[in-house]
Amino acid sequence: MSETDDSPLRSPTGLPGRVLAIYCAALSASHLIFALYPGVISEFQRNVLHFAGFVLLASALYPLLPSRKSSGALTALDITLGSLTALSAFWFVLNDTRLYGETQPFGALDWAAAIMLVIGATEFTRRVAGPVIPILIVIALTYIAEWGSMIDGVFQFRGFSWESTLWRSIYNDEGIFGTVARISSTTVFLFIIFGAFLVRSGAGDFVIALATAVAGRVRGGPGIVAVISSGLTGTISGSAVANTASTGVITIPLMKKAGFQPRFAGGVEAAASTGGQLMPPIMGAGAFVMASFTQIPYETIVATAALPALLYFLSVGFFVRIEACRLNLPPLEAEGETMWTALKRGGAPFIVPISLLITMLVMGFTPNYAAVFGIGAVIVASWASANPMGPRAIFEALALGARSMVMTAVLLCAVGLVVNVITTAGVGNVFSLMIDRWADGNLLIAIAMVALASLVLGMGLPVTAAYIVLATLSAPAIAGMIGDREVIALIAAGDLPSQAQAIFMLGAPEAVPRLAAPMPLPEARALVHSLPIEVAQPLREMVVPAEAATVALLSAHMIIFWLSQDSNVTPPVALAAFTAAAIAKSPAMATGVASWKLAKGLYIVPVLFAYTPFLSGDWGAALTVFAFGVVGIYGLSAALAGAMEGPISWPLRIAAGAAGLAALWPDLLMANLAGAALVLALLGWSIRTAPAPRTA
């Protein structure tokens, strides 16, 4: 096998390359068959096959040593290790009946297979995603088997034997072949294959052409093209780095040609590409993991995620437009691209499958079925474009899908080893309680703590893994704090039911006499925040309506998911920004700072999730929040950039920032209206006084 000159991954050519391509295509095809005929094998068997198949593929692609060249002996060693790990996984399928019972002792071969499985999963996770998850796996497994009983305090755990630890890691629903592996082996991989077919059909070129036709000739047009194309490309890949690499090679040179500074051009592409993981219907793997964790239907999640994603892209687009106006850049000259020419050349393979996918989801089909039929629609629709897909193209798309899934598959299965420990030992509940105490009931402080944790985790973890770990640890605390608003409102109004008042006898009996009458809102808030968890939790369960509890849970997970994206654009480790910097030929850290500034929506929108009915499912309320959010974020963007349709003075920047903040402030309609009116008035004044744009 040989390697490319610019990648540490192996890129086999000749006969080994053809064998690897056939293997990848077969791996993708087998998962499509399992999706259409789910009764062919059991869920456990499918998850094992999924893990084993991708571990073997990872052994062929990811060398043991970081050097870019490896000998045939090292390649053989890697594939041998992958084969042993895969065989160890299959051992537990073959011995499922005998071993499925905690009282059944391990034999010598069982011990060997279990140890080989954990070592192999840890090592290949290190290869594909870095050292953070492997370190967490070692800490987690030794915690419940060895040193958890030696520590004092809330994290003390009277541990299991190593045999019980390994058994639970393999057979528990949260283990290596459990819930997260099920998500990976079904919906996530199917949508990755769907994206590979879209790419192979030429849909990516159509996205760029369509964005150019829509926005290429306005001021700041190339930057807006980057925003639109990255949003649409997110429906294909759902990866910030992949979005940046694929669209950035076109949009970043265009932005530089239009007059944007290289670091700003790279920052725009990185910030816009990060939004691709927020964009329904794929949202990276986040929507599928979230649906599994919360038991909220996938279609509900993607429906409620649409307006927030649009708000994020608008926030990046505002910065682009404002910067173009601040620099008084002219629009680029037209180059003949129109919406009709873009649609005619390659619109069908993109529009038809996406439309079918959304229609099937609305009709109630599972995401798995929708993805499979969407793949078929790509093939059929491609024959109405300039790039029809024949057998060779289909084969290449299947192979591309498997190669694109390697890191995600190995990582999602291996992270089950950590999630299993968090769930088994109750670490998530303890951590949520600690967040509650540290924040002293203040939701904004809790969100800031999660944001900081997500940034630290994101330095070494892909976004999906960071979200899984953070959601397992902190989602209960965030959801509880959001649900407490219902409790506080009832106490303040004096309407707390009598059976709920009785719960106070368990932890705050001195407050019971005060519950019979209305109470000032700050006092009610302080009372609820002072309750011990053993009182607060049953009180929430009794008082908060089921629908409101579901919204609180969805809001908590969406907050964590959005905040987990910030590592893509926030120095010192900002992979999307650094990828864009390489294309823009700009300093990596300066590009990272620019992308962080442009991605302010990642921090503003989660606050709206927490304090407004943005995700309530009430479209009237959601559209109201969206409308004020658009105006408010524009005002804040103008204040930060120092311009609207032209440069503005410091007093006007302060006024724009204050007005934008007022437009966003929750539960104060008059402040929202006044703030929005002031932002629009400042915009009108700016339009009247702005200098005429320079000619191209």
pLDDT digits (tens, 9 = 90+) for 631-657: 999 999 999 999 999 899 999 999 999
Token pair in block for residue 347: 């619109």
Q: Look at residue 532 in the predicted model and tell me its pLDDT.
A: 76
The three-state secondary structure class of 643 is: strand
The Cα angle at residue 41 between residues 38 and 45, in degrees rounded to 5: 120
| Residue 87: band (very low, low, confident or very high) from pLDDT cuts 50, 70, 90 | very high
From CA 602, how far away is CA 558, in angstroms rounded?
A: 11
Which of 88-92, 259-263, 304-308, 437-441 has the weakest average pLDDT?
437-441
Q: How much of the chain exceeds pLDDT 90, in percent? A: 41
457 closest CA partner among 148, 135, 128, 119: 135
CB 470 within 8 Å of CB 454: yes
The three-state secondary structure class of 128 is: helix
Which of 147-161, 616-630, 666-680 has the weakest average pLDDT?
147-161
The three-state secondary structure class of 10 is: strand
Token pair in block for residue 555: 């809001």
In this predicted model, which residue has the larger pLDDT, 401 or 426? 401
Q: Look at residue 611 in the predicted model and tell me its pLDDT.
A: 93
Average pLDDT of the segment spanning 471-483: 89
Average pLDDT of the segment spanning 175-179: 92
The three-state secondary structure class of 182 is: helix
Q: Residue holding tokens 């070129």?
A: 205
Average pLDDT of the segment spanning 63-85: 81
From CA 461, how far away is CA 137, in angstroms rounded?
A: 13
From CA 66, how far away is CA 94, in angstroms rounded?
A: 35
- All residues at 6 or more sequence positions from 455 whose CB lies less than 8 Å from its CB, including other chains: 566, 567, 570
The pLDDT tens digits for 517-565 are 888 888 888 888 777 777 778 888 888 888 999 999 999 999 999 998 8
- Report how far apart, in Å, the C-alpha atoms of 604 and of each of 320, 548, 572, 609, 665 are: 18, 22, 21, 9, 11
Q: Look at residue 657 in the predicted model and tell me its pLDDT.
A: 96
29 closest CA partner among 556, 37, 239: 37
Name beta bridge partners: 643.
647
| Residue 166: band (very low, low, confident or very high) from pLDDT cuts 50, 70, 90 | very high
The pLDDT tens digits for 15-60 are 989 999 999 999 999 999 999 888 889 999 999 999 999 999 999 9
CB 14 within 8 Å of CB 29: no
Report whether pLDDT(588) > 50. Answer: yes
What are the residue ranges spanned by the domains of the chain? 202-347+565-689, 426-563
| Residue 70: band (very low, low, confident or very high) from pLDDT cuts 50, 70, 90 | low
- Report how far apart, in Å, the C-alpha atoms of 257 and of each of 223, 229, 513, 696 are: 11, 18, 71, 11
Helices (H), 383-509: 391-424, 427-439, 443-458, 463-493, 498-507
The Cα angle at residue 219 between residues 252 and 661, in degrees rounded to 5: 95
Compute how many other C-beta atoms are within 10 angstroms of the C-beta atom of residue 344.
13
The pLDDT tens digits for 280-290 are 877 767 778 88
| Alpha-carbon 303 to chain mean position | 16
Number of helices and strands in the chain (H, E): 32, 0
Which of 419-423, 573-577, 690-694 has the weakest average pLDDT?
690-694
595 closest CA partner among 262, 322, 207: 262
Per residue, the 3-state secondary structure of 585-598, as one string, reads CCCHHHHHHHHHHH
Token pair in block for residue 445: 């402080």
Report whether pLDDT(308) > 90. Answer: yes
From CA 470, how far away is CA 565, in angstroms rounded?
A: 12
| Residue 6: band (very low, low, confident or very high) from pLDDT cuts 50, 70, 90 | very low
Token pair in block for residue 43: 């869920």
- All residues at 6 or more sequence positions from 207 whose CB lies less than 8 Å from its CB, including other chains: 229, 232, 233, 236, 247, 350
Average pLDDT of the segment spanning 191-215: 80
Compute how many other C-beta atoms are within 10 angstroms of the C-beta atom of residue 64.
15
From CA 147, how far away is CA 159, in angstroms rounded?
A: 8
Q: Look at residue 3 in the predicted model and tell me its pLDDT.
A: 38
Q: Look at residue 553 in the predicted model and tell me its pLDDT.
A: 94
Report whether pLDDT(4) > 50. Answer: no
CB 686 within 8 Å of CB 649: no
CB 119 within 8 Å of CB 135: no
| Residue 216: band (very low, low, confident or very high) from pLDDT cuts 50, 70, 90 | low
What is the DSSP code (8-state) at residue 692? P
| Residue 157: band (very low, low, confident or very high) from pLDDT cuts 50, 70, 90 | confident
The amino acid that residue 534 corresponds to is E
- Report how far apart, in Å, the C-alpha atoms of 291 and of each of 297, 298, 337, 463, 663 are: 6, 5, 40, 16, 32
Report whether pLDDT(7) > 70. Answer: no
The pLDDT tens digits for 115-131 are 999 999 999 999 988 88
Q: Look at residue 236 in the predicted model and tell me its pLDDT.
A: 65
Radius of gyration from C-alpha coordinates of the chain: 26
Compute how many other C-beta atoms are within 10 angstroms of the C-beta atom of residue 390.
10
Q: Look at residue 67 in the predicted model and tell me its pLDDT.
A: 60
From CA 73, how far away is CA 56, in angstroms rounded?
A: 17
The pLDDT tens digits for 325-354 are 998 887 766 566 676 776 766 677 788 888
Report whether pLDDT(380) > 80. Answer: yes
Token pair in block for residue 535: 């009182």
Token pair in block for residue 434: 């600690």
From CA 655, how far away is CA 312, in angstroms rounded?
A: 23
| Residue 696: band (very low, low, confident or very high) from pLDDT cuts 50, 70, 90 | low
What's the pTM value of the predicted model, to 2 decimals?
Answer: 0.85
Q: Look at residue 426 in the predicted model and tell me its pLDDT.
A: 81
In this predicted model, which residue has the larger pLDDT, 319 or 459? 319
Report whether pLDDT(663) > 90. Answer: yes
Q: Look at residue 80 in the predicted model and tell me its pLDDT.
A: 95
Which of 5-14, 102-111, 430-439, 461-470 has the weakest average pLDDT?
5-14
Report whether pLDDT(68) > 90. Answer: no
| Alpha-carbon 328 to chain mean position | 36
